[in-house]
Structure 1
Amino acid sequence: MRIVSADIRVLEVPLRVPFIVSYARYDVMPSVIVSLRTDSGLVGYGEAVPDEHVTGETVESVVAAIAGHLLPALRDTDPRNLNLVHERMDRALVANGAAKAALDIACWDLLGKHAGMPVHALLGGRRPEQPMIAKVLSILPPERVAAQAAEAVSQGFTHLKMKLGSDTEQDVARVAAVRAAVGDGIRIRVDANQGWRDVATARRMIAAIEPFGIDWIEQPIAADDLDGFRRLRPHTNAVIMADEAVITAGDLARLVRDESVDMVNLKLMKSGGILPCQRLATQAELGGLAVQIGSMLETSVSSAAGYHLALAHPNIVSTELSGPVAFSDEPGDLHFPLPYVDITDRPGLGVTLDPAALDRLTVSAKELITE
């Protein structure tokens, strides 16, 4: 089997409410959907959702990387040979995790469709349970985020993830307001997205919010301050998760060596797709760190890819792939009986794309002939 053509579509996917984190506000999410067509007639779908604040990629750079470097490197490569696919992509271009993830995911979709098996079966077999998602709460005034938290609980969510990091005084008030609104039976985790920046501020903030019963604190310091996690560790018993700080195996090895975090948040967009994240999850397991699979707010395509990996890997204990429930319109068809997601046993990713929705959301498109 070989790839004979590819479609690249840039989408703007509308959010139900703005998504606000410490470093940006999004009213729509950019997405690059890639369709790989093979000489056997199969089509595989992949997705890139770049974040210039995390991987340094933009929509424009993703399209350029795929069209100008990655797809040419895969000419005459069997897309089912994922090891060779990544070897050739890595030789053609360093980094560019989101661009590589789009092709990796499409190749897994092709492999599953060719084999007549879901991706999770190809990764070793699924757990029996359906994965659960948390409701992600943007940075808002305390009374507004508390109201959104209460509404989320009424919808069936049992876990909440609060975005923090824009204002330390308001951050404490936000956590207090949400805990008061939802009571003690709802699980709360927080993500500063590097917003507290330095170790001293992180120590103070963790101490201030711990009394409200927090499951874990994600990326409290700057991503490039790996030593900061080591300095922070002796000053708190809170569960600490690294996210933006973990992209490569080298990043993860440093955190394992320092015994400075308890968990890592792996994302297909950061590290290049399912195969690299599977390897990182195993590396984390060997180092004694639990894994969450997160996302950049992706459509059903990349979200399904993350869920397949999470279902198949024993060290992935949490999933935060909530993009489809955050969108008011998207091309895929993942089903969310809250607070769960229904991952089927259909071949490949198990996602069907709606052509009308794709056309409605597309802002630019190009077709590439790879033969």
Structure 2
Amino acid sequence: MKITGLNVYQVDLPLREGRYSWSNGNFVEVFDSTVLEITTDEGLCGYAECCPLGSAYLPSFALGVRAGLAEIAPHLIGQDPLNIGSINRTMDAALRGHPYAKAPVDIACWDLLGKATGQPLYTLLGGAAQDDVVLYRAISQEAPEVMAKKIEGYAAEGYTKFQLKVGGQVEDDIARIHATRAALKDSDLLVADANTGWTQHEAARVVKAIADLDVYVEQPCMTYEESVSIRRRTALPFVLDEVIDTINALVRAIAEDAMDVINLKISKVGGLTRARQMRDLCVAHGIPMTIEDTWGGDITTATIAHLARSTPAEFVFSATDFNSYGTVDIAEGAPRRVNGRMTAADRPGLGISPIFDALGDPVAQYR
């Protein structure tokens, strides 16, 4: 099998709630998502999606995905998409860094591998380890009482795990955490996710003020070193996200006992190939994971579902159904939430079919 072309689509994904807000005043109202189609000489096509969380979250942005694909694409024509190791080496030789731009190529090749072998991706990623996966709901940063009310509403939909967007003013964040924890059942899990938004002294104040609550603290500060300093000052369980962006970063964090849980975002690390390596390393060292991505629609949600379903339940802290946050469907056959859980399709590959009427015409084509 040989790659004959790459078709790149751009699609806007508006939010049902109108706005998604997180630390330091950042927000997005309409997500700019890129969908990739890889065509082959055997008639099979592979699909993937990459959707950065704006341009102020990670070193990634929507136009960067498409610019990176423009650099990579000429080197992929004629390559065997089923030789995914070679595909990744080719991309790394053509473009240094920018893993998020390479992620859709890697994922689309995995989709092709599943279709070529007649197997769902969860089988290729290690086999079904659970029937379905538990989801968390992100609660956009607002006034404490508004966030508490939203948690009550989503709990009624079957969610039992919640990621609270903090990283604002310290006093407001302390109130947000107290108010939302009070709205939950004792068995529900709450994660206070600062998304790097606190300085070290601010984070120290927060963890002291919430020390008696049942809550996880996620990525309090911008750097690894600052965050680990806060880890040493609190007995609360600790999650690292933005700074766990490579295998080497994960190895260091495990060796230094830097966290209890990691947030594994598939496009952040370059696609399913490296995400699977990091997943397996976490399992070997007893580190649970939130398995997700920066954002996306139906295709991203399917990718998350396959990696999560092939991971033992005790190591899936939670996963994300991003397609339930938006108003636009871009693929048929994508996972749908049922009572706070979702599953990956048993169909070959990702198990989805793009809705081309929603995607529109390609914004770039490479042959």
TM bucket by the smaller chain?
A: over 0.9
Aligned residue in 1 for 2:174 = 172
Aligned residue in 2 for 1:57 = 60
CA distance in 2, matches of 1:316, 1:274: 17
The answer to whether the 8 Å contact 1:112/1:118 transfers is yes
Aligned residue in 2 for 1:292 = 290
Report SS of the residue matched to 1:281. Answer: helix
Number of residue equivalences? 361
Report SS of the residue matched to 2:249. Answer: helix
Letter of the structure 2 residue corresponding to residue 219 of structure 1 = Q
Q: Provide closer, same or farther for how the CA distance between residues 95 and 274 of structure 1 changes in structure 2, counting only shifts above 3 A.
A: same
The answer to whether the 8 Å contact 2:268/2:294 transfers is no
Q: TM-score, normalised by structure 1?
A: 0.92
For residues 12-23 of structure 1, what are the structure 2 equivalents within 5 Å?
12-17=12-17, 18-23=19-24
CA distance in 2, matches of 1:43, 1:232: 47
The answer to whether the 8 Å contact 1:166/1:195 transfers is yes
Aligned residue in 2 for 1:66 = 69
Report SS of the residue matched to 1:139. Answer: coil
Cα distance, 1:54 vs. partner?
4.2
Q: TM-score, normalised by structure 2?
A: 0.93
Residue 322 (str. 1) matches residue 321 (str. 2) = yes
The answer to whether the 8 Å contact 1:267/1:295 transfers is yes
CA distance in 2, matches of 1:93, 1:366: 18
CA distance in 1, matches of 2:339, 2:153: 13
The answer to whether the 8 Å contact 1:13/1:329 transfers is yes
The answer to whether the 8 Å contact 1:293/1:316 transfers is no
The answer to whether the 8 Å contact 1:297/1:322 transfers is no
Report SS of the residue matched to 1:270. Answer: coil
The answer to whether the 8 Å contact 2:99/2:270 transfers is yes
Aligned residue in 2 for 1:86 = 88
Deviation readout 1:304-360 (Å, 9 max, x if unpaired): 11221122234742233231110011212322113011322110001122222223x
Q: Provide closer, same or farther for how the CA distance between residues 288 and 155 of structure 1 changes in structure 2, counting only shifts above 3 A.
A: closer
Aligned residue in 2 for 1:348 = 349
CA distance in 1, matches of 2:162, 2:121: 28
Deviation readout 1:31-68 (Å, 9 max, x if unpaired): 0000111111011101111243344222222111112x
CA distance in 1, matches of 2:290, 2:83: 26
The answer to whether the 8 Å contact 2:193/2:217 transfers is yes
CA distance in 2, matches of 1:284, 1:36: 31
Cα distance, 1:284 vs. partner?
2.9
Letter of the structure 2 residue corresponding to residue 213 of structure 1 = D
Deviation readout 1:247-285 (Å, 9 max, x if unpaired): 112211221222221221111111100001111122333
Cα distance, 1:127 vs. partner?
1.6
Aligned residue in 2 for 1:276 = 274
For residues 145-184 of structure 1, what are the structure 2 equivalents within 5 Å?
145-184=147-186
Aligned residue in 1 for 2:307 = 309
Gaps of 5+ in 1: none
Deviation readout 1:54-85 (Å, 9 max, x if unpaired): 44222222111112x21222232110111111
Letter of the structure 2 residue corresponding to residue 8 of structure 1 = V
Moved more, 259-268 or 315-324: 315-324
Report sequence identity in percent: 29
Cα distance, 1:195 vs. partner?
0.9
Cα distance, 1:287 vs. partner?
4.2
For residues 137-216 of structure 1, what are the structure 2 equivalents within 5 Å?
137-198=139-200, 200-214=201-215, 216=216
Letter of the structure 1 residue corresponding to residue 252 of structure 2 = R
CA distance in 2, matches of 1:258, 1:185: 30
CA distance in 1, matches of 2:130, 2:256: 35
The answer to whether the 8 Å contact 1:274/1:306 transfers is no
RMSD: 1.8
Residue 366 (str. 1) matches residue 364 (str. 2) = yes
Deviation readout 1:174-230 (Å, 9 max, x if unpaired): 1222223334342211211011131x322221222243311x2110111xx222244
CA distance in 2, matches of 1:259, 1:212: 22
Letter of the structure 2 residue corresponding to residue 319 of structure 1 = S
Q: Provide closer, same or farther for how the CA distance between residues 170 and 155 of structure 1 changes in structure 2, counting only shifts above 3 A.
A: same
CA distance in 1, matches of 2:103, 2:347: 21
Letter of the structure 2 residue corresponding to residue 313 of structure 1 = T
Letter of the structure 1 residue corresponding to residue 349 of structure 2 = G
CA distance in 2, matches of 1:149, 1:98: 31
The answer to whether the 8 Å contact 1:293/1:321 transfers is yes
